[in-house]
Amino acid sequence: MVALVIFLGFYWLFVGVLELVRVFVDSSVPWYWSLLIGVVGIIAGIIVLRHPIFAAIVLPTAIVVWLGVLGLVIGVFGMIGGFTGGGVGSFIFGLVNFLIGLLLLASPMMAALAVPLVFGILLLVEGVILIIWAFRVRR
């Protein structure tokens, strides 16, 4: 996990530097957004690289909390959309997101520990689905 966090720190640092360069080179994006993303990326990268063990403990939990809050918000809007003409599918999608958000926020540390296992299972399922899809497309 520490190696992954170190990689993430270098990534944030690299993206931060590129965004600062983008302020002067690319005019298609407002300069203040690139400046903000660049400064935040560099600061986050330096913090993670200076304290990788602490970041390896805190970062997964922070991500789980963020995903939990995001699930609640998306869930509420999905359920509202289901009642205002979005259909049953929108309501069910919102309800599932809301319940997953509650589950993540109920125990963020345990959810963070379960992320590698759940991610691995999802990748295996996706791989099987893609293999089945490839055979169907071939016919």
Residue 113 belongs to what domain range? 58-139
Residues 133 and 68 grouped into a single domain: yes
Residues 33 and 64 grouped into a single domain: no
Q: Which residues contact 103 (CB under 8 A, 6 or more apart)?
A: 68, 111
* Dist CA 5 CA 69 (whole Å): 22
* Ranges under pLDDT 50 in the chain: none
* Dist CA 122 CA 20 (whole Å): 36
Residues 65 and 41 grouped into a single domain: no
Residues 124 and 107 grouped into a single domain: yes
Residues 66 and 131 grouped into a single domain: yes
Task: Say how many domains are in the chain.
Answer: 2
What's the token pair of residue 121?
């299972």
Q: What is the pTM of this model?
A: 0.61
Mean residue pLDDT across the chain: 88
* Dist CA 94 CA 53 (whole Å): 36
Closest CA to 76 of 94, 54, 64: 94
For residue 48, the model assigns a pLDDT of 93
